[in-house]
């Protein structure tokens, strides 16, 4: 079986309305949260900052100083203002 690449990821969601959300958090806050939880290896959260760095997003939120309810409200408000094509569709079209 051939390894899966970015194009496979795009094709895997054909037929779905995909909204890409970039969630930011200050590294110091990530480290504090990890220490408080105590259930993860140190540095895990910061190491995940490079996951899914395609660059194009529909919505961005910053959880550094916002609680989950505030972030959810921001997401819903932004989602209501989205216009087509969404980031996922733009990535499909540009490959």
| Contact assessment for residue 88 and residue 18, using Cβ atoms and an 8 Å cutoff | yes
Domain ranges of the chain: 18-94
Residues 33-73: pLDDT tens digits? 888 888 877 777 777 665 556 678 899 999 999 999 999 99
| Residue 40 CB partners (closer than 8 Å, separation 6+) | 34
Measured between alpha carbons, how far is residue 22 from residues 2, 35, 50 in Å? 29, 23, 11
Minimum mean pLDDT range among 29-33, 42-46, 72-76, 89-93: 42-46
Whole-model pTM: value is 0.71
């Amino acid at each position: 079986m051939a390894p899966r690449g970015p194009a496979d990821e795009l094709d895997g969601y054909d037929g779905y309305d995909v909204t890409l959300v970039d969630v930011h958090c200050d590294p110091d806050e990530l480290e504090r949260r990890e220490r408080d939880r105590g259930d993860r290896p140190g540095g895990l959260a910061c190491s995940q900052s490079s996951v899914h760095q395609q660059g194009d997003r529909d919505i961005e939120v910053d959880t550094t100083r916002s609680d989950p309810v505030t972030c959810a409200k921001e997401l819903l408000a932004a989602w209501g203002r989205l216009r087509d094509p969404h980031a996922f569709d733009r990535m499909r079209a540009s490959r």
